[in-house]
Amino acid sequence: MDSFDPAMDRALAVVEPTEIAKDLVHEAGTLAEGVDAEAVLLHVTTEEAYSARRGAMESIPNASTKYTPGEAEKGATEFAEDVGREVLAEFDIEHEATGAVGDEADEILQTAEEYDCDHVFLPGRQRSPTGKALFGDAAQRVVLDFDGPVTVVTE
């Protein structure tokens, strides 16, 4: 890890459909405004969620509707945009929304690098050490692999 630089120019806030995640975006907005930084909002649709929705749509008899990865990514971006409009309206900060489909930790780390983010805010899940060992934990991977500060908020 390089030497710690407390300055923040661009924060990445991971958006999920929970009140905790909205609180997290609000905190990221508060901090970003205070240091005159920008924010990037990311919503990740996991492969499992994408596959389940695609399967449900394909099971409709005589339906010509397909659910493509591009549509899932567009929906994820729109969700992040909606949360940004709702939660960040009170702040005077530049923000951008994006969406991704894939492994949550990989997509968070890739997006942070792509947008040159220097701080990551993400919701965590309360799990036992055994649960983390067996199933992995996106927050834990981001904390270990991101080269900068990571703020994790749990319920």
Residue spans of beta strands (DSSP E) within 8-114? 10-14, 38-45, 95-101
CATH level 2 (architecture), domain 10-153? 3-Layer(aba) Sandwich (3.40)
Alpha-carbon span 143 to 23, nearest angstrom: 19
Residues 109/115/120/125 CA torsion (nearest 10 deg)? -50
pLDDT, residue 48, reads 86
Alpha-carbon span 131 to 127, nearest angstrom: 6
**Six token digits for residue 95:** 């923000």
pLDDT in 10s for each residue of the chain, 155 residues: 444 456 789 999 999 998 988 999 999 999 999 999 999 999 999 888 888 888 887 777 776 677 888 889 999 999 999 999 999 999 999 999 999 999 999 999 999 999 999 999 998 776 556 545 434 588 889 999 999 999 988 76
pLDDT, residue 138, reads 86
Alpha-carbon span 119 to 111, nearest angstrom: 12
Check: pTM over 0.95? Answer yes or no: no
